[in-house]
Every structure is written in C-alpha cells, then in structure tokens.
Structure 1
Amino acid sequence: MSSERTAGSDVSGIRFRLLGTLEVGGADGLVHVPLGRQQTVLTALLLDLNRVVSIEALMDTLWSHDPPETARTQVQICISRLRRRLGPLRAVIDTRSSGYLLRADPETVDLYLFRVRVRRAGAAEKAGRTEEASDLLREADDLWRGPALDGIDTDAMRTRAARIGAERTDALERRLALDLELGRHARLVTEIPALLEENPLRERLCAHLMLALYRSGRKGEALEVYRAFRARLVEALGLEPGEELRTLERAVLAQDPALEPRERAAPAAPREEPPPIDQRLLFQLPGPTPDFIGREDTEAAVAQALVRAGGSSGVAVILGPPGIGKSAAAVHVAYRLAREYFPDGQLYCDLRGTGGSPLSPSQVLGRFLRALGVPGQAIPDDLDERAVMYRGLLASRRVLVVLDDASSEAQVAPLIPGGGTCGVLVTSRARLTGIPGARRFDLDPLAEDHAVALLRRVVGAARVEADPGAARRLVGMVGRLPLALRIVAARLAAKPHWTLPTIVERLSDERRRLDELVHGDMKVRTSLSLSHQALDGAGARLFGLLGLVEAPVIPVWAAGALLDDRGTAPADLVETLVDTHLLGAVGVDGAGGPVYRFHDLVREYAREKGEQDPSAGTEQVRRWAGGWLFLTEEANRRVFGVNLLRAVGSGARWSPPPDYVERLLTDPHQWMERERVNILAVIRQAARAGLDEECWELVSQFCVYAERRGFFDDFAEALESATEAVRASGNVRGIAAMDFSSASLMINRGEIHGAERGLARALAGFSEVGEGFGAALCREWMAELAYWRGDTEAARELCETALAGFTSEGRASAVWRSLVLLGRMSADRGEYEDGRAHLVRALASAEMSGDPRACSQVLHQIAGVDLASGAYSDARDRFHEALELIADPGDPVGEALLGFGLGRAHIALGETDSAREFLERSLELWEHLGDQEGVSQVKGVLDDIPVVARRAV
C-alpha cells in the first residue's frame, strides 16, 4: 500500500514512526533503539502516549503472561535506558505508582497523524467535500512504510499491529470509494490490483476493482475479477461471496445503468434572499489585534466548532481569567472565518458581563434587530417576540454572532439563532456550562516562545535580542499573561531608553508588580478587580485567605483549614472562584478532590486582598501548616508503621474530614511524592511566619520520607528553611530535632565527622528537655558511627544504652536497628549463630513497627550473614524477599544495596547471567545517586564475573 508522499503532507515534525519498522528520529538523524525489549517497551508506551502503562502490562507484553522472577527489574532497566536515549527529543518517561507514562507531543507520532487525517477525512466527507476527503485519506496512507509495528514480535504487539493494519485497510477502502465517486476509475484500474494481491480475500476491494473496470469499458475483465475472487474464497474458506458482491456481478452482466458514474451535484439553487438592508450594519467586528500571536490549536478547534454541519448553530465559548486574551482571540477567529463561512455579516456586542451593569438580552436583541434592517418602531417590546423575529431574520443568512464578556447563560440563550447557517462565538470569565450544544475552550497563558515573540513585535527585535535571557525572565514575571505583556511592551515602546533589565528590575518586587503593570487605560489590577467585585462577601474573604498561602497548587481541603470548617461550604466557595476564573482547577488529588492554582498575577492580587483583611493572620497560616503536618504524619504512619524514627512535638494539627483523608492517603507513597513541592513551600512559609513548632515537626516528618526515597536535595532544602527559624525561637527540642535530621543527612552524604558533632548536639538538647526517645535515637546512630570508625566496644556500649532507652520509653518496635548492629558485630567475629539470634529479634521488632523498609533492612543483614557463612541459596532468597518489600513505591538506595547482594549470591551459586543483571541495575542506581563508592564496589564484582564463569566451566 505504499506510494510516493503527496505534496502538502507535512511530516517534518514526526519523531516516532510506528507504521513500519520502529524509527526514532533526532536532530542528527535516527536514534538507535536496540531490538528486543527496549523497542517493545518504547512501542507499548507510544501506543498509549500520555497515558499510564502499568508495569504489569509491560511485563505481559514482553513475556506473554509468563514473566521471569526478575521481570520487574528488567522493565526498570529498559525504562532507564530509554530515558537516556529519548532525553534530547523532548520525550519524557514519568514514573507513576502503577507504571510509566511517556510524555510527548502526539503530532510527533506517525500513527497519531494517520488517525487525525482519517478523522478529518470523515468530517469532510460528511460535509460533502469529497475531493478533500479523498486527499486526506491518501495523505494518511502515505505515512505508512510497511506493516505496523514491523519487527516487534510479541503476542500482544502482533494483536495490536493487526488492529492498526485493519484501520489502514478500512481507510483505504473508504478512499477508493470516494475516488470512484469522483470519476477516477481509470486511475484505480491500475492501483487496486496490487492492493487486492496484498489482501486477496477483501470483498470490498474486489467490488471497487470490478466497478472501476466496468466504468472504464472493460466489462469482461470485471467479470473475470469476480470469478477469480470467488474461486479464491471458496478454496480458502469454503464460502461464497457476500450478497453485495453477487449483486454487483449480476448488475455487470445486465449492464445496469445504475453502475454508471453519477453526475456530480449541480450547484444549489440560489437562496431566497431576505429583504435588502444596509450591509454596513452587519459587519460589526472591532478591529483585530495587529500583534496577535499563538493560540493556533485553540483557534483551529474553535473554528471547527463554529462551522460544523448540523441542525443547530455552532456555538463556541472561549473561557479564561482576566487579561488572558479572550476577546482578542475571539475577534481573530471571527476575521479568519468571516469571508468564507459567514459572508452575510458579523454581529458583535460587548455584553459588559464584568462591568457592573451587564446588558440585558432584550437590549442586545434591539441592537441586532436594528442592524438587520428592522425599523425601531417595528421592534417588539417583549423579549420572546424580539427573539422570534431575530431567529427568523437569521434563518436564511450566514452570520457570525460574537458575544463578548458574557455574564451568564441567561444573558446568552436568547441571542443564539435557531437555524443551522449561523455561528455564535462567546467569551466569558464564567463557566457557562448550561448553553445547549456549546463547546467550551479554556485559554491558558501564552507559551513562552509566543510571549517573547509578542514582546519582540511591539518593542522591536533588536531590544529583545540584545538580552534574550532578560526577555524570558520578563515574560515569566508576568505569567505570560497577554494583557500584562501588552502593558509591559507598551511601556518599553514608550521609553526607548529603557532596557529589558530595567523593567525586569522594576517588576522584581512582587508586592509592587501590579503597580508597575499600568499603561494608559490598560491596568491589570483593574481587570482583576472587575471579577473580584462580582464575588459575595464570603467568596471575597476566601479569595484573600487563599492568597496568603504559599504553595504551587492548592488542595481543596485548604479552604476548610483557612476557615476552620470541615463541612462542604468551603469547597463550594472555592468553586465560585473557579467559576469566575480567579482560580484555576488543574487536576484532582488522590481522593478525587479538585486541586487549584492561581495565575501568578492573580495570586499577587489575592495576597493584596488577604493582607487588607483585618481578620486574616497567623492563625489561618497555622491551620494551613497544621493540615500538612497532620497529613504528612498520617502518610508516614501508613508507610512506615508506628516507629517513625523521629521525635514528635506539640505543633498544631488540623485534620480534614476522616473519609476524605482515607481516600486521599489510599496510596500514601504517591501522595508524598506528589506533594513534595507543596510541603517544602509550607515549611518555608511556616518558618517565615514564626511557627517554629509546626516548622520543625514538618521537617522531621518530611525528612523521614525524603531520606528513604533518596531526595537528599529536598532534605537539605527543608532543613535550611527551618533551622534558622527554630534556633531564633530558642525551641530546644526543635533545635535538637533539626540537629538530628542534619546528622542523618550528613551520614547519607558521607560527612561522618559533621554527623558525629550533630548527633552530640542533638543528644544534649534531647536530654535537656527529657526527650528519652530522641536521646535513644541519637545513641543508636552514634553506635553506627562508632562501628564505622572501628570502635566496636563503644558501638556495643551505645547499642546497649539505646536499647535500654527505647525499652524505658515503651518503644519496643524501635529496637531493631540496635539489634541489627549487634548482629553484624557478632557476624564480623565469625559468631554467625549469635549474629542470627540478634537479627531474628531485630526482625520481630521491625515487623512490630509495621515498616516494610525496616523489615527489608533486617532481611538484608540476615542475607549477608547467610552469604558469609556459605548458605548461598538462603542468602539469595532473603535478598529477593527484602527487594520485594521495597518494590512499591521503590527505594533506590535499598534497591542498589540489595541488587549488589543478589549479584554476589547468584555468582556464588554459579548463576552468572542473573548476577550480571542485578549488578548492572545496582550500578545504574549508584550512578544515578552519585555514590562513587557504590559504583566502585559493583564494578569490582562485575569485572570478576568472566573469571568466575570460566572457573565454573
């Protein structure tokens, strides 16, 4: 089915080709993806682009429901290697709790482009544009270079390839039917035989060839094609041709006139024109914005909604926050469509929805009726009568009605024509979900490149290119909001002696930023105030309170915390802000509740309002931080069990409703992962607000998770934010907790001397305030450090003291780490049974804590004793068991250690292939973590594998 690519078929942006052998194109040519697992995994991710593919589905794809024990690890290795290969292509593989998601522009995948062209062809055919539909289908087929997914040889991929191939054949048959309708039978006589050879049992292809031959005056050959096809079908399947093909044969024999090409439809009879009017009154669009840029995707989608065929007017609603460019986009689309699709005129009205005095539908209809030629005295007073007259006058005209700044569905509904010839384009800050048949389009801030291009157009390329970095900082400062960009650009144009860094400096003070965004009549604050004035008292107060919180995104429970209300009213108030586009809904959380985000400039306006509210202050921020403290502590408890290995303070907790918390923390790993950035922002805000107790507790809770997941940069950032605030407050227990957390971070970074000093300070602080559990934790870690520097006697003494401290505090679940160290020291002396006894007690304590990672660590130590004592099979099994315990959601440090252990166990058992697999995974993890000692250890063992293998032979 391959053919020469047609002119105009733009495929320059394709990076991933699935319609043939897998190809990945980069800036410098093809990117090599090795045959086998990597190609299969990449193909699976591309087929579900921008959707999560579970790791189980990938395993089933690779091993047809019979995966080896190491399947999960092998998939992880494939993903890691693919990430490196795809990095330069702006294609990112994200890890999700259940699998992986490949993020890329769909238009870079040939299969997506094929399907888009097929869909567009269907729309064109339905609209009667037969030639366009045929051309689109031919373009779609030109994207193919061979069988789909060629070379990806697994059961699952063969099934999917067959389905995609069927899509191609269906599209091809549709195109042949259209070409026959267009009278192209002579061309098809030479094209279809090759297609029928590839698909020898497709009845529709046979029918198309017969009809093409008949219309070319080759009736005998048409009958011969039928007889040859029938013979193949009988021989292959024992079946006769279907009724459609048999009917066609009889029609050919009878030379039925119905087989002749139909005459193309004659041009439609002239429409009965409505009474003549002054045409100038019907062309009411305001002038277009000369420097309009971007919005191509939205523009195309809106245009499609407006010109769709059907029994009702196409209605498109452009939505967005103040200053986002809704009116400019609407006028731009209207001009684009006016000449071709709405030649009879364009009615326009600013409905003043946010101006405090919106126009009534009756007022607007009066204006439109006068524009349509109705004398003033003939316009009815009644709204319904005006609407009936309006619909009647537009019934036979092709007019575009643009309704700018609508306030409600009730304002818009009477203004929608009733026939199928007109389009209605509405802009609004309200959601307007109740307009029947309307399609809604939300405008986002401009893309960075478009924002910079807008700046360049207004102020001149020379000034922008003189400092492109400043240009990008500038557009970022105003959140890529078109109104703000036009104000900035206008100020720069009016002051040619200003450079871009000048305006960047003036905008750098966030609290004065809105003051700077003023030029003539253009004011961002004024635009925002119009929406704010539409809020009732409760909504306006919540708007200001939300402006006081500092977080990239705002979960729905935040409103309840700020208002100290666990009912449904706060969430309803938040939705009023969404409805007016003062707040954007950007997703859902783990409980299915909405998550919100302010535009940067709207946030600054909200903060102004919050700071002007005399009832807003520290207590609202305390409840906000307390909500995060409660949820972080609860997530840790669900992940790590009762022993959190950190001291606990008296910071305020604010609990969202229990049923919501239960849903939210169903997967606590995922919640912590998703909320990392928010938690860090809350820690910073709590520190600045002087909430020292909440601050250090948040850090302690967060660092438990960050340490175990290897997020050491986040760990350090949290400590840096909190330590100064806690020390300034003189909070002795908090200072001790921060010293302990700092020591933990230094241990992970190999800064042993600093860690020892930090633990000594923490021990002194905990002892001063009688914090027994914290003191025992310090001694436990001091024992570890003493062991590392070779002072086993001090290590043993500190272990015994820590054990006594935990016991006196009633924390039996916390003793496992000290028992592990005692077990290791016994094993070091060759006292394996004594070591196992300590480790068995440690395992019981870890299981009591409910912490799977603690259990994994103990099993790791037991496996080490097994390995040292020659019990290689036991060691391998325990290493595997330990790895399984940390598989979800993953622990890169633990996985690296256990992979190293498994590699050595498999070597000892002579299983060198498995050993290499685990060691390579361990090496990859150590490299990712930047641990050179781990890298050296693994490389040393990997280098010895060939020697071991030869010895085994």
Structure 2
Amino acid sequence: MVSDDAADTTFRILGPIEVEGPAGPVHIPPGRQQVILALLLVEANQIVSTEHIVDALWDDQPPDTARTQVQICVSRLRKNMAAGGLDVAIDTRPPGYRLQVPGAHLDAHTFTARVSEARVLADEGRAAEAAALLRAAVGSWRGPCLHGMPNRALRTRALRLDEERLSATEDYLGLELDLGKHFQLVGEMTRLVHEHPLRERLRGLLMIALHRSGRQAEALEVYRSGRGLLIEELGLEPGPELRLLESTILSGADELRLAPAADAAAGAAPPVAEEPAPVAQVERPRQLPADTADFVGHDDLIHTAESVLTGADRAIGVVVIVGRPGVGKSTVVTHIGHRMARDHFPDGQLYCDLRGTGTDPSATADVLGRFLLALGIPGPMIPGGLDGRVEMYRTLLAERRVLVVLDDAVSERQVLPLLPGSSNCAVLITSRTRLTGVPGARQLDLDVLGADDALALLRRVIGPGRVDRELESAGALVRTVGGLPLALRIIAARLAARPHWSLASMVHRLASERHRLDELAHGEMTVRASLSLTHDGLDPAARRLFGLLSLAEGTTLPGWLAGAVLDHDHPFPSDLLEPLVDVQMLEVAAVESTGEFRYRFQDMVRLFARERLAAEVEPADHAGAVARVVGGWLALAERAHRRVYGGDYAVLHGTGARWLPPAGYVDQVLAEPLDWMAGEQANLCAAVAQAAKWGLDELCWDLAVTVATLCELRGYLVDWQRTHDDALVATRRAGNTRGTAALLASLGTLDIYRGEHTRSRATLTEALGLFVALDDPRGLGLCRRDLALLARYAGEDDQALTLYQQALEDFGRVDDAVGRASVFTQRAHILSRHGQRELAGTQLAEAMEIYRAIGYEGGIAHTLRRIGQLQAQAGEFEQATRTLTEVLEMVRHSRDVIGEGHLLCNLGEVSAAAHRYDLARMYYEQALTARENIMDHAGAATVRVALADVLTRLEQPKLGAGLLTQALSTFTELGMDRERAAAERALGTITAAPAEPATR
C-alpha cells in the first residue's frame, strides 16, 4: 500500500507550489526560481534541458545572457533549499538539470502511485478499497496543479495532472455508485457537474445517481441542460453514451438497476416520492468478542440455532441458550455470531454483557444508549427515556441485517426492549434460567461436552500424543470435570504448563480437591475445584495479582492495570498477566489496533478471585490498589484532555494521586485521544462509580469532570450525567466543597446542552457561590462564562457582556488561554448582532491566534465558523464559502456529524444569500441527509423549510410545498409552535409568491 504519511512530503505541486523542510516551510522566491523549480518538479528525476527552461522563462525572445541567468537561478535555488535543510540534489546533467526526488517526497508521485494501485484493486474486484484509495488520492490536492503560476509552459503540464485528478474522481464516483451509494453521492456529483459542465462522464454519473434515487425527472433535466450547453458552447450533440443513458432512463429499462449485492449495500429501497429522500449512512458495528480458536463440539445445537436465526418464515429469530455455570454459553454464542456475521448479518453485530449473574445487572436503557451510539447516533440525539430509545433503536434496525447478542441476561424484562422489531435482524441470548416470556424465542439447553469432543479439546491444548499415551486417564479426567468446558480448559492449561505431570496424577489431585469442596453444587463445585487446584499451583506473586486484579471494574481490562494494582513499574505490564493467561484464569478478549491485548475474567473466575483476595492480600492493600487503578484512569484521561485542548485548559483538577502507565503505552493509546476515550468510556464510568463506592472523593470528582470535557465533544450526555451523580454523592458525603462546586459547574454546562436553561442557571449559580467562597478563579471563570451564555440566549446582552468581562479576568488570573478564547468567540456573537462587526472580527482573530498557538483544533473550527458567518453578514459570500468549507472538512475529519449538519446549513444559507440557488439546494440536501442520518427530526424539519424556499426560487414550488408539509407534521408532533407557525406562513404563500429569477 502506498504511504500516505504527509510528513514524508517535501515538495507539493498539487495546488500552490510548496516546499517543506525539517524545520518547516522553505521560502522559494516567486518569479524565475519558482518557475525553474516547478519545471524540475513536473519532470522530477528526469533531465530538463536548459533550452526548455529558457523557452519557458522568456518564450521566443530570450536575452543573450539567458543561459547564464538560468545558471544563477539554479545556484540560488540550491542554496535556498540547503538553507531549509532539504537533502535533495539538483544535478547538472547535459543538456540541462535534474532534480532527484524520492517518490514519497513529491505529492504528484504519491498521487499517481495511489491511482495506479487503486486501479489494480478495482481490477481484482476490491471496489470499496479502490474507491477509498482514489478518494484519498484526490483528497491530497489543495487546488489546481501549480495554482497561481501563470507560466504557459507549466500550465500545459499542470493541465495534464488536473485531468488525471478529474479522471480519478470520476473513477471513485463510478465505483461508489456501483456500491449502492447513490443517495450520498448526489450532492457531490451536482457540485462537480456545476464546476465542470462539459464533462459528459460526470454528467452521466449524476444522471444514474438521480435515477437510482427515484428522481428520474431530475436525471432527465440534467441531460437536457447538458445537451443545451454543449450545443451552445461547442455546437455538438452529446456523445453516444450520454444519449443511450437518456434513452434507458426514459424507457425504464432494468440496465441501470443495481446488482443485488449493491442493493443490499445501499441499505434501503429507492424512495418513490419526488422529494429528495436521504438515506442514512449505515454504521456497521462489530462488537462481538474474539472467537475461540480451539472451539469444539455442540454441532447439533449450533445447526439448530443458525436455522432459527435465519429461517425464512420467522417474524424475528430469537434463540435463548440456557446452561449451568462453566458450560460455555458465552463461548458458544460468540462462535455462532462469528460464523454467521459475514453472510447473514453484514450490517453489523451488537454485543453486550448484561451482567445478569452479578449484583448490578446492566440497565436496559444504558444498553440501548450504547447500541445507539454504535449505530451512529450522536449522544445529544439519543432520547433520555427508555421508550424513546426503544423507538429509535427499532427504527434504525428496520432496514438493516444486524445480529444482537445479549450475554448473561437476568430476566425477560431486561431483554424485551432490546429485541429489534424487524425480521431482518436476529437475537442470541444466554441465561442461566429459561426466558419463557420472550415471544417466539427458541430455548436451547447447552449441555456439557460429550466424551469425544472433550477429548478433542484436551488434545488441542496439551497435544494428541500426551492424551493418546494416557487415554484411560484422559477419559477419567473428562469424567472428573463432568465435561464442563471451563473446568476442562483450566485443568488442561495446568497440564500444558507442566509437561512432566501425568494425566493420572491430575485426576487424583482434582478428585481430592472436589472432595474438599463437596458442599458446593455440582457444576459450580467442578469449576471451583479446577480453579482452586490451579490457583494453589501459582506462585505467590501471581496469586496476589490474580486477587487484586479482580478489584478492577469493567468487562474488559487493559494490560496496564496489572502494573497499577501491584504498583509495579514494569515497562510492559501485560507481561505480568501472561502466567494467568497461560492457565486460563484470565482470557485474552481482544487485540487492539495498537497491538495491545485486552483481557477479561469469566464471571465465576472473577468471583473466585475476589473470594481468594482476602486470604492472599491484606485488606489494607485493597483500597490502595483501587486508588491506583482509578488514578491510572485519571492520568490517562487528563493526558487525553491535554492532547485535545493543548493543555490543562477549561477544566478543574483536584489533588488525588495519579498512577501513570508506561510512557510508551500512553503515547501509543492516546495518539487519537477522543477515539481512546470512546473505546474506554464504559471503563471510565465504572472507575468513577468505583471511586465513589470506595470513598475516593477527590479522585472521583476529578475523573468525572475530566471525562465530561471529552463527553462534551462526542456527545455522551447520559454518561456525563451518571458519572456526576455518582461523584456528587461522594463529595457531599466527604464535605468536599471544591469537588462539589466543580461537579455542579459541569452539570450546569450539561443542562445547557440539553436545553434545560432554567435548571442550568440555578445549578451554575449554586456552583458560583461555592467558588466565590473558595476564591477559585478558574471555577469562577467557567461559571460566569456559562451564565453569560444563558443571558445571551435570553436576550440579556448587557448582563452577558458584564459576565463575559468578569470571566475574562478570572481566566486571566490563572492564564487559562482556552477559557479566554472561548469568551472572545462567544462575545463576538453579541457584537456582530449589534452591528459592531469590526470589533467582533478583532475578538475572533484574537481567539484564533490563541487556538492556533496551542493547537486546539476544536477551537479553531468553532472560531472559523463564526468568522465565516461574520463574512456572510458583511456580504463577503465567496470568502464566507471558502471559510465555511474549510470548517466542514475539519468537522468531517473529526467525525462530528452534528457539526457537519450545521456547516452544511451555513453553506446553504450563504449560497442562497448570494442567489446561487442550485448550490444552496445541494448544500441543504446534504444537510438534510446528515440530519436524517442521526434521526434529528427537529433539525431535519428546519432544513426542509430552508430547502423549500430555495426550491420555490428555482421554480419548483410543488417540491417546496411537499417539504413544508413534512416539516409542519414534525413541528406539530414535537410541540415546536413557533417553527410550526412560520412553516404555515411559508406554505400559505409559497405558490402565490412570484419566483425570484434563479442564478444557477
């Protein structure tokens, strides 16, 4: 695969010419030096003759000193590049010069290599990979090749590269069209056809996308407008391919339909309505735990389960696998899930451990929240109540083929809301009891392994030769553990670790251990006997680790926890866990993208470990281990915050002791800090709850508010609330005033996000009073800034400006740059509203300077958006479009789907204000798709109103009226009276109002 590491790129010509050295940009003076460099770069590693350079510089009238001047320019060019630290050479080679550039150091070479590789992938049938690689190749361009250099000789070569870019664009659009992405591509294709109206292939692709989206009339209009343009500009009719395409659409022939596989990838049937009907970009979660490599047995049960899950005559396939402890229920459903995932449930697999056998089973509403996040719904869009979540969950799954795996369920009540409503999906459940109240569920009893399967498993673990040499003892061992897979794996791992032990001796040891534990139930007795025997064979250090590790909450555990519970500075703490993995006391749950392992306890193993903890470790050491675990999570969350915000800005911290995992591990897992947080969100929330339970109030509140700053960026509002509720109990019980104030201030911010302004004002005012008593500048600044925002929302601009000024002074006392910049950005909104655009621009420029200096990308994007809006207010529509487009790319890169919807609306507003209604329509349609994707019904209705106005101006009032009717229905249902009244007025006048002449 071609490297896409931008750090390798030294020379860039795919856009304005740029040169990058080890210390940053290298200045090449404009004029002849830039022209010569560009000539050498477009023919990199080839000899460019001096005559060619002379002709390029002076056309047909070179001076007598032309060759000498070229030599001087080349010499200066060499010195400039050497001064910039560039390790490249401009060789003098008759009849001219050659610039030696390794392939990865010139963006044009990287682009060409990617395109070539993508076309090979396409030829191999790997269309999705090819399309992604082509998109990446085209995405590396920053504008037209050698943009800003008017030299005629250069433009000829640059135009050839520009043509290759367009050809690659058409290639990936064609591939994605065949993958069923027609709905998502319409907006992009419309823009490209607008920019390149004479390219017939682009126009044809747009026609196909519109046709497959159920918009045949618009597809034919694209043809007619293109034909008119070709006749007017060139005096030519469209080519045969485009004419054939028009005929095919007119005839309704099947040639343009997607192949069945692509139909499935599209995720939905094309709409029949005339109105643009966006279809969600399907998220495909892959949440199943790792499959067991040496799985054996249960063939009949697996066959029956798969038949039920995929049966054609079912309403929805539901299988409940019931069995006693240690029989392998989780292992079996995971194995079935992996077997069926690719062919039967390509839209994803959802998985949750419902913790039914624990003291705190998973709440159904929380499970639904996690599932909705995995299905692509941002946190702020997830309903707060159970009923709303169930409705959204079932709506999302209505047109998808998803397998839902619910492990360790406690009751029907816990499970029923988690059942999809569509027969496309299926559900696998495990439980220790029969869930007869689950409608239509097939109850399957999982028994122990048969003798042959048990021996097969034993052979896989300790080797066939060893089993066959003691076949009788092997059979006795299987009978002793009752065929329970968990017990058999534990004992087999013990034997594998001790090749000098005979199987007969293990049978004797296990029988003695079972006799000692004969008061236990049969299944549990067998497993505990196995565990006890293996546990007693561990060395003291491993037994201590085994016990302490059970204190760590969470369904999966990162390896650094081993170092934390032992307070050990091992550079690779995962190594400490290997003895436990070797004897099956701990499982490897997954391998992360970084190569790090994640671990988990079987439920019974964790219970056993906690029972043995008291005997192996002094009770006084338990609290210390928990404190280090929570301190480790806090250290990582704190560093993640710093990487996002550029420092410890806009957050309060306490004095709780941190425990820092190895530096190499920290750098590795926090390379993408927000992604790390998303992956560890459940563990972070569990750590807050555990700290509250153990009375670690200082660590508890600090971790809660640190995680909240990241919850804010990803929209995990439910976790934000839960962690703060837990932490408030701890701080109030301990009389921790500062921790309580910090939590209240954070909850006030949360209420702003939820639109609970009255409650937010009360909470922030309470927090402000505590911070005044403490004289805590950062806390005061945070509260006053948010109270100012509430005043601004209420139209109390004077009060808001006063509070903003006080917040600036508070943040200044602690040198909180992000706090100050956020005030500048918010205050600029008021100033621009009052016509003080110049002062608002100054505030935004100061905020931008701060954000760029510390590298806080979120702040840069937010401020740039405000700048774009300010430019639009001033009528600077072209500049506003460029600014907002830059922000759009930033929010897409950060996967901020809510921000993407806002930016697309902003671009639609700017385009409409500039009377560029075709462009406005494209942006609004994309915004509508973005809103519908995340089931933001209120936001989608608002976009429909704006789009209806644009369509009316494009002389399509019927489509506009349809959009307004839909919007009215949504506003009425949601009780949005002001918006409903405005939509009614628009609908009442839309057909009567004369359409404004459209500028297309």
- Following superposition of structure 1 onto structure 2, how do residues 759-908 of structure 1 map, counting pairs within 5 Å? 759-908=764-913
Question: Aligned pair count?
Answer: 558
In structure 2, what is the equivalent of residue 675 of structure 1?
680
Q: How far does residue 617 in structure 1 lie from its aligned partner after superposition? A: 1.4
Deviation at 1:588, TM superposition (A): 2.6
1:683–1:695 CA contact under 8 A, matched in 2: yes
Q: How does 1:439-838 map to 2 (within 5 A)?
A: 518-519=521-522, 522-568=525-571, 570-589=573-592, 591-615=594-618, 616-642=621-647, 644-838=649-843
- In structure 1, what is the equivalent of residue 452 of structure 2? 331
Q: Distance in 1 between matches of 2:173 and 2:790?
A: 35
1:65 aligns with 2:204: no
- What is the alpha-carbon root mean square deviation over aligned residues? 5.1
- One-letter code of the match for 1:547? S
Contact 1:326 1:427 (C-alpha < 8 Å) held by counterparts: no
Cα separation, 2, equivalents of 1:68 and 1:349: 53
Give the letter aligned to residue 761 of structure 1.
E
Of 923, 938, 950 in structure 2, the residue corresponding to residue 945 of structure 1 is 950
CA contact (8 A) 1:350 1:403 kept: no
Distance change >3 Å, CA 47–CA 676, structure 1 → 2: farther
Report the CA distance shift for 1:821/1:101 in structure 2 as closer, same or farther (over 3 A).
closer
Q: Deviations over 1:200-245 (max 9, x none)?
A: xxxxxxxxxxxxxxxxxxxxxxxxxxxxxxxxxxxxxxxxxxxxxx
Show the counterpart of 1:23.
none
User: Which amino acid letter does the alignment assign opposite residue 784 of structure 1?
Assistant: L
Query: Are the structure 2 counterparts of residues 578 and 804 from structure 1 closer, same or farther at C-alpha, using a change threshold of 3 Å?
Result: same
Deviations 1:300-336 (A, max 9, x none): x99xxxxxxxxxxxxxxxxxxxx9999825614879x
Give the gaps of 5 or more residues in structure 2: 1-117, 140-165, 187-212, 214-262, 270-279, 290-325, 340-431, 433-444, 481-488, 500-513, 956-996
Change in 2 beyond 3 A, CA 1:726/1:917: farther
Amino acid at match of 1:952: A
Q: 1:589 touches 1:664 (CA, 8 Å); kept in 2?
A: no
Q: CA contact under 8 A between 1:626 and 1:651: conserved in structure 2?
A: yes
TM-score (normalised: structure 2): 0.49
Q: Is the 8 A contact 2:761 2:790 kept in 1?
A: yes
Report the CA distance between 1:65 and its aligned residue.
Answer: 3.3
Cα 1:333–1:582 shift into 2, 3 Å:
closer
Deviations 1:551-605 (A, max 9, x none): 1111010000111111158533311111111111122335422110111221111
Task: After superposition, give the CA deviation of every residue in 1:509-529 in whole Å (9 maximum; x if it has no partner).
Answer: xxxxx9997138954322322
What's the offset of the Cα at 1:654?
0.7
Alpha-carbon deviation of 1:739? 0.6
Q: Against the structure 1 CA distance between its residues 57 and 614, is the aligned structure 2 distance closer, same or farther, given a 3 Å change threshold?
A: same
The CA deviation at 1:809 is 1.8
Instruction: Indicate which of 429, 447, 460 corresponds to 2:493.
Output: 429
For 1:296 and 1:754, locate their aligned partners in 2 and report how far apart those are by CA, in whole Å. 45
TM-score w.r.t. the length of structure 1 is: 0.51
Q: Deviations over 1:133-161 (max 9, x none)?
A: xxxxxxxxxxxxxxxxxxxxxxxxxxxxx
One-letter code aligned to 2:881: R
Distance 2:328 2:623 in 1: 45
| Conservation of the 8 A alpha-carbon contact between 1:642 and 1:850 | no
SS in 1 for 2:704: helix
1:830 Cα deviation after fit:
2.0
Deviations 1:667-713 (A, max 9, x none): 22221111111111111111111111111111111111111112212
Partner Cα distance (2:169, 2:643) in 1: 32
Q: How does 1:205-244 map to 2 (within 5 A)?
A: none
Q: Which protein has greater RCO, CA pairs closer than 8 Å, 6+ apart? A: 2
Cα deviation code 1:419-457 (max 9, x no counterpart): xxxxxx99923595999xxxxxxxxxxxxxxxxxxxxxx
Distance in 2 (CA, whole Å) between partners of 1:520 and 1:608 is 18
Local SS of the residue matching 1:718:
helix
Residue 915 of structure 1: how far off its partner (Å):
3.1
Is this contact kept in 1: 2:497–2:582, CA < 8 A? Answer: no
What residue in structure 2 maps to residue 255 of structure 1?
none
Q: Which amino acid aligns with 1:66?
A: T
Q: Please give the secondary structure, in 1, of the residue aligned with 2:589.
A: strand
Separation (CA, whole Å) in 2 of partners of 1:910 and 1:70 = 28
- Residue 814 of structure 1 deviates from its aligned partner by 2.3
Distance 1:70 1:815, change over 3 A: farther
Q: Residues 899 and 83 (structure 1 numbering): CA distance in 2 closer, same or farther, change over 3 Å?
A: farther
Instruction: Give 1:84 shift.
Output: 11
Q: Is the Cα–Cα contact under 8 Å of residues 329 and 446 in structure 2 kept in the other structure?
A: no
Instruction: Answer yes or no: is the 8 Å Cα contact 1:907–1:945 preserved in 2.
Output: yes
Paired with 1:76 and 1:825, the residues of 2 have a C-alpha distance of 42
Letter in 2 for 1:581: Q
Residues 584 and 789 from structure 1, CA distance in 2 versus in 1: closer, same or farther, beyond 3 angstroms? Answer: same
Q: Is the CA contact (8 Å cut-off) linking 2:650 and 2:816 kept in structure 1?
A: no
Query: Aligned partners of 1:870, 1:856: CA distance in 2, in Å?
Result: 21
- Superposition map of 1:39-54 within 5 A: none
Secondary structure of the equivalent of 2:590?
strand
* Residues 541 and 914 of structure 1: CA distance in aligned 2, closer, same or farther (over 3 Å): farther
Give, as a single letter, the amino acid of the residue that structure 2 aligns with 1:635: A
| Aligned-partner Cα distance in 2 for 1:649–1:291 | 44
| Number of the residue aligned with 1:152 | none
Deviations 1:368-407 (A, max 9, x none): 8xx9xxxxxxxxxxxxxxxxxxxxxxxxxxxxx9896799
> Secondary structure at 1:940's aligned position in 2?
helix
1:228-284: per-residue Cα shift (whole Å, max 9, x none)?
xxxxxxxxxxxxxxxxxxxxxxxxxxxxxxxxxxxxxxxxxxxxxxxxxxxxxxxxx
Residue deviations 1:792-833, cap 9 Å, x none?
Answer: 110111111111111222223421121123221121122222
Change (3 A) 1:620 1:806: same
Q: 1:569 to 1:854 in 2, by over 3 A?
A: closer
The residue type paired with residue 899 of structure 1 is L
Q: Which residue of 2 aligns with 1:180?
A: none
The code of the aligned residue for 2:775 comes to: G
For the Cα contact (< 8 Å) 2:868–2:881, is it kept in 1? Answer: yes
